[in-house]
Amino acid sequence: MRKQATTSSEYNYQVVQEPLFNRDGKPVMVGSSPVMGNFRTDNDVCLGTSTEKYEIVNNGSIVEKVEEALTKNGLGGFDSKKYVARDGARFYGVYDFKDVTGSVATGDNVGMRLTLNNSFDRSCGVSWSIGLLRLVCLNGMTAIVNDTSVTKKHSSKLDLAFIGDSIAESKGKFLNSVQTFQGLREYKVTKEQGGLILDNLAIKKVLADSMRDSIRMIWDNEDYRDDLEYQPGQARLEQRSDNLYNLYNATTQHLTHHVDGFEYANRISKSMLKNLVKAQTNAKRFGELTAKVPEKEKTVKEVALAI
């Protein structure tokens, strides 16, 4: 398995298409179309293959046009970070809008986060994904809504008006996502049930065992509490409030502070959220995730540790 490259913030490289040839020096063909390699011009790394019909859209061009569109649509006050992964085959531009907010509960406001996606390996087109930034602790949270297309096809001719429409659509999805987290917060669980959910997600390979253990340390910590009712100058609540939202926040706290790799953290966060939302809305699924871990699973793990 190919090891995932470390993420990098150096995104403004150029990518060009060059024809590929077989060992006999003949062009590689798919039907009547030659196969092209998508090469970085700064280091000659091939990031993916395509045909000539696939237009290269360089990251710098997208960023310039998108940020111009954001400003024109009254969203110029953003904080942004740019990431690339897999040697530059994938690009992510993370935009946080702390003035576009929603409230999960009293004292727990979230800002809108939009993540711009682009790729040179055909893994995605140019699109937005919706996220949230928890303002009380600056942990990033994903959402389970579908991505919003920024352009109808992978093309260098980005329509600023179309981007503006996509941004407006994203605002609506953001507000719907806030409601999703409100529902998670209202769904109470015990401390033991939270631990069982983590155990069962590890068994199902949603979480690695080591990550499950790290998240559980946060969840089990008696000082980890839902301080949403806390106001400066007042005493903290004596009793912690355990709910599915708090369990998800234990996950994002771990991912924000301990995981190196934007893609990996984003994938785990989204998988965790999908499972918790399903547990909230489906009693059978909640029962499965809070079931006692079978003894055979414990035995297998004990044997593995002893080897």
> Could you tell me if residue 15 is inside a domain?
no
Please give the structure tokens belonging to residue 202.
Answer: 């590890």
Q: Is residue 3 over pLDDT 90?
A: no
% of the chain residues with pLDDT over 90: 53
Same domain, 130 and 237: no
Last residue of a domain, one of 173, 203, 229: 173
> Could you tell me if residue 76 is inside a domain?
yes
Phi, psi of 265 (to 5 degrees): -60, -40
> Could you tell me if residue 239 is inside a domain?
yes
Same domain, 124 and 203: no
- What predicted TM-score, i.e. pTM, was given to this entire model? 0.82
> Could you tell me if residue 301 is inside a domain?
yes
Between CA 205 and CA 276, with CA 282 as vertex, the angle to 5 degrees is: 45
Q: What is the Cα–Cα distance from 107 to 229, expressed in whole angstroms?
A: 7
What range does the domain containing 160 cover? 59-173
Number of domains in the chain: 2
Give pLDDT tens digits for 249-267: 999 989 987 656 888 888 9
Question: Residue 108: which residues within 8 A CB-CB, separation 6 or more?
Answer: 134, 136, 228
Same domain, 138 and 198: no
Give pLDDT tens digits for 131-156: 999 988 878 888 877 777 776 667 66
Same domain, 114 and 156: yes
Integer CA distances (angstroms), 145 to 84, 120, 132, 249, 253, in order: 23, 24, 12, 18, 22
Last residue of a domain, one of 173, 201, 221: 173
> 181-197 burial by CB neighbour count: b if 16+ within 10 A, else e?
beebbebebeeebbbbb
Q: Is residue 225 over pLDDT 80?
A: no
Residues facing residue 209 across a β-bridge: none
> Could you tell me if residue 50 is inside a domain?
no
Q: What is the Cα–Cα distance from 19 to 6, expressed in whole angstroms?
A: 28
Please give the structure tokens belonging to residue 99.
Answer: 């003035």
Give pLDDT tens digits for 266-278: 899 999 999 999 9
Question: Residue 14: which residues within 8 A CB-CB, separation 6 or more?
Answer: 40, 41, 42, 58
Same domain, 95 and 169: yes
Same domain, 198 and 169: no
pLDDT of residue 14: 96
Q: Residue written as tokens 């196969």?
A: 35
Q: What is the Cα–Cα distance from 93 to 11, expressed in whole angstroms?
A: 9
Last residue of a domain, one of 138, 173, 208: 173
259 or 191, which is more confident? Answer: 191
% of the chain residues with pLDDT over 70: 84
pLDDT of residue 53: 82
Residues facing residue 140 across a β-bridge: 133
Same domain, 158 and 239: no
Same domain, 147 and 199: no
> Could you tell me if residue 141 is inside a domain?
yes
pLDDT of residue 160: 64
> Could you tell me if residue 17 is inside a domain?
no
Show the DSSP H helices in the chain as ranges: 59-72, 160-186, 191-203, 209-220, 244-258, 262-281, 283-289, 295-306
> What is the number of residues in the chain?
307
Same domain, 164 and 209: no
> Could you tell me if residue 129 is inside a domain?
yes
Give the model's confidence band at 241: pLDDT under 50 very low, under 70 low, under 90 confident, else very high.
confident
